[in-house]
């Protein structure tokens, strides 16, 4: 775990989110360069090529607008050592593509998602150095064309290169270098673990990193937002790790100098502990279809709402914000509302308000 280092994370982010990479839009020369950089990093560490002798999985698929999409996933493998369990995989993933240019301005995508890719490369290095201790196999994948509708991860699943019944857990990183706003600067969100009791408890056991607040929230609160989505559809237990969308999300301001590399190091170390525990489980985690999580989530959101009221000066705050947040606090504290479906809706509407509030932070640095 000591090899996970903020300077290495920063170096990788600066490489992938440099102007030369031109925003890494899939099916461009620059995005292929980014894919090659990830493949070379995997090779240098010692990972085996994950796709029948190759680090690359070329694919063609359809984007969310129905358009034809071409790209390259990149995969590297560390084989496990347990006779029985080594045929099971933990998929550790992020996406390397971004949005290219917008009206001539390069969108560097440092947080989205050079940060996540730097995380999986550092994790690959850390796990390679203890590979003799691994029971299950670890599959590191950098997906392409996430921004077009998670095309790379969908095609990965469809290809059958790794059967979903052999994937015991999926860990997905997308945007791990920032924070929604200052008063939650130490927060990282772990979403989706409610679909597996075991992963829930492994998160709690792995979360004791000083200065890092790991907050679990149900995946229903954001829907299908990143590459965990096709795994979730196939009922693969998963955890989505993200610091969420700050004001510069999907703009030309998502640059390497904005990221918090100390925090990223902490997040990667938390993930190391979580993955190490998950790969050594006796039993494969079971997927729970309809977890009831609204009671836990409403408690988390209640805390966040109170934080916001205490830190109004951070935002272009209006009276409507005060009315809304106070109303939500009341709903979260009201026992009559402890109906799972209804409470989930309240959690969702509160999160949407917070994401929009993030666009109104005063200090845009
Ligand atoms: Zn992303």
For residue 82, the CA-to-ligand 1 centroid distance in Å is 34
Within 13 A of 65's CA, how many CA atoms are on the CB side? 6
Q: Look at residue 365 and tell me whether its pLDDT is greater than 80.
A: no
Residues with CB under 5 A from ligand 1 (ion): 112-113, 174
For residue 238, the CA-to-ligand 1 centroid distance in Å is 17
> 262: how many CB neighbours lie within 10 A of its CB?
13
For residue 226, the CA-to-ligand 1 centroid distance in Å is 6
Residues 269 and 301 in one domain: no
Tell me the C-alpha distance between 78 and 132, whole Å.
10
CB 178 within 8 Å of CB 276: no
For residue 311, the CA-to-ligand 1 centroid distance in Å is 28
For residue 149, the CA-to-ligand 1 centroid distance in Å is 10
What is the reported pLDDT for 337? 62
Instruction: Please state the pTM of the whole predicted model.
Output: 0.97
Q: Is residue 286 part of a domain?
A: no
Q: Is 216 helix (H, G, I), strand (E, B) or coil?
A: strand
Residues 300 and 220 in one domain: no
Place of tokens 């997905």: 172
What is the reported pLDDT for 54? 98
Residues 250 and 346 in one domain: no
For residue 240, the CA-to-ligand 1 centroid distance in Å is 12
Residues 240 and 306 in one domain: no
Q: pLDDT digit string (tens) for 49-93?
A: 999 999 999 999 999 999 999 999 999 999 999 999 999 999 999
Q: Look at residue 130 and tell me whether its pLDDT is greater than 80.
A: yes
Q: Is residue 1 part of a domain?
A: no
Residues 175 and 232 in one domain: yes
> 319: how many CB neighbours lie within 10 A of its CB?
7
For residue 59, the CA-to-ligand 1 centroid distance in Å is 19
At how many degrees (to 10) do helices 294-310 and 340-358 cross? 30
Residues 194 and 310 in one domain: no
For residue 99, the CA-to-ligand 1 centroid distance in Å is 10
Residues 238 and 347 in one domain: no
236 to each of 47, 79, 231, 287, 321, how far by Cα in Å?
24, 20, 5, 7, 38
For residue 73, the CA-to-ligand 1 centroid distance in Å is 15
What is the reported pLDDT for 295? 81
Q: Answer with the one of 254, 279, 304 that is the final residue of a domain.
A: 279
What is the reported pLDDT for 5? 96
For residue 256, give the CATH number of its domain. 3.40.630.10
- Provide the domain count of the chain: 2
Q: Look at residue 336 and tell me whether its pLDDT is greater than 70.
A: no
Give me the numbers of helices (H) and strands (E) for the chain, helices first please: 10, 11
Q: Is residue 288 part of a domain?
A: no
Residues 160 and 190 in one domain: yes
For residue 179, the CA-to-ligand 1 centroid distance in Å is 14
For residue 175, the CA-to-ligand 1 centroid distance in Å is 6
Q: pLDDT digit string (tens) for 115-127?
A: 999 999 999 999 9
Q: Is residue 289 part of a domain?
A: no
Q: Is residue 364 part of a domain?
A: no
What is the reported pLDDT for 58? 97
Q: Is residue 284 part of a domain?
A: no
Q: Answer with the one of 228, 248, 279 that is the final residue of a domain.
A: 279
Q: Look at residue 104 and tell me whether its pLDDT is greater than 70.
A: yes
Tell me the C-alpha distance between 217 and 343, whole Å.
13
Domain that holds residue 224: 6-279
What is the reported pLDDT for 335? 65
For residue 147, the CA-to-ligand 1 centroid distance in Å is 7
CB 313 within 8 Å of CB 358: no
What is the reported pLDDT for 292? 85
For residue 256, the CA-to-ligand 1 centroid distance in Å is 15
For residue 26, the CA-to-ligand 1 centroid distance in Å is 13
For residue 249, the CA-to-ligand 1 centroid distance in Å is 9
pLDDT band (50, 70, 90) for residue 202: very high
Residues 353 and 206 in one domain: no
Q: pLDDT digit string (tens) for 5-62?
A: 999 999 999 999 999 999 999 999 999 999 999 999 999 999 999 999 999 999 999 9
Q: Is residue 287 part of a domain?
A: no
For residue 248, the CA-to-ligand 1 centroid distance in Å is 13
Q: What is the mean pLDDT of the chain?
A: 95
Tell me the C-alpha distance between 180 and 311, whole Å.
13
Residues 215 and 328 in one domain: no
Residues 174 and 214 in one domain: yes
Residues 254 and 348 in one domain: no
Q: Is residue 140 part of a domain?
A: yes
């Amino acid at each position: 775990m000591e090899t996970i280092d903020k300077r290495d994370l920063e170096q990788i982010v600066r490489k992938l989110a440099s102007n030369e990479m031109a925003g890494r839009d899939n099916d461009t020369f620059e995005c292929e360069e980014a894919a090659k950089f990830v493949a070379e990093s995997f090779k240098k560490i010692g990972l085996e090529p994950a796709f029948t002798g190759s680090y690359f999985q070329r694919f063609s698929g359809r984007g969310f607008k129905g358009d034809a999409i071409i790209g390259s996933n990149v995969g590297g493998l560390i084989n496990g050592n347990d006779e029985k369990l080594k045929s099971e995989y933990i998929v550790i993933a992020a996406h390397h593509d971004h949005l290219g240019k917008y009206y001539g301005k390069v969108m560097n995508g440092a947080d989205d998602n050079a940060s996540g890719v730097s995380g999986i490369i550092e994790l690959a290095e850390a796990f390679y150095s203890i590979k003799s201790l691994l029971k299950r196999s670890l599959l590191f994948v950098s997906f392409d064309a996430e921004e077009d509708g998670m095309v790379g991860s969908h095609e990965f699943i469809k290809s059958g290169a790794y059967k979903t019944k052999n994937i015991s857990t999926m860990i997905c990183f997308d945007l791990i270098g920032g924070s929604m706003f200052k008063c939650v600067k130490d927060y990282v969100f772990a979403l989706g673990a409610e679909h597996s009791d075991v992963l829930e408890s492994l998160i709690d056991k792995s979360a004791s990193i000083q200065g890092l607040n790991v907050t679990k929230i149900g995946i229903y609160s954001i829907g299908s937002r990143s590459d965990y989505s096709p795994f979730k559809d196939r009922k693969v237990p998963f955890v989505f790790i993200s610091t969420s969308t700050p004001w510069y999300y999907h703009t030309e301001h998502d640059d390497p100098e904005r990221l918090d590399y100390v925090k990223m190091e902490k997040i990667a170390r938390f993930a190391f502990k979580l993955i190490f525990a998950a790969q050594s489980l006796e039993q494969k985690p079971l997927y729970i279809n309809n977890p009831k999580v609204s009671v836990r989530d409403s408690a988390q959101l209640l805390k966040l709402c109170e934080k916001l009221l205490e830190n109004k000066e951070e935002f272009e705050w209006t009276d409507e914000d005060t009315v809304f947040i106070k109303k939500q606090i009341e709903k979260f504290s009201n026992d009559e509302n402890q109906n799972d479906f209804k409470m989930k809706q309240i959690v969702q509407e509160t999160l949407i308000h917070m994401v929009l509030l993030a666009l109104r932070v005063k200090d845009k640095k």
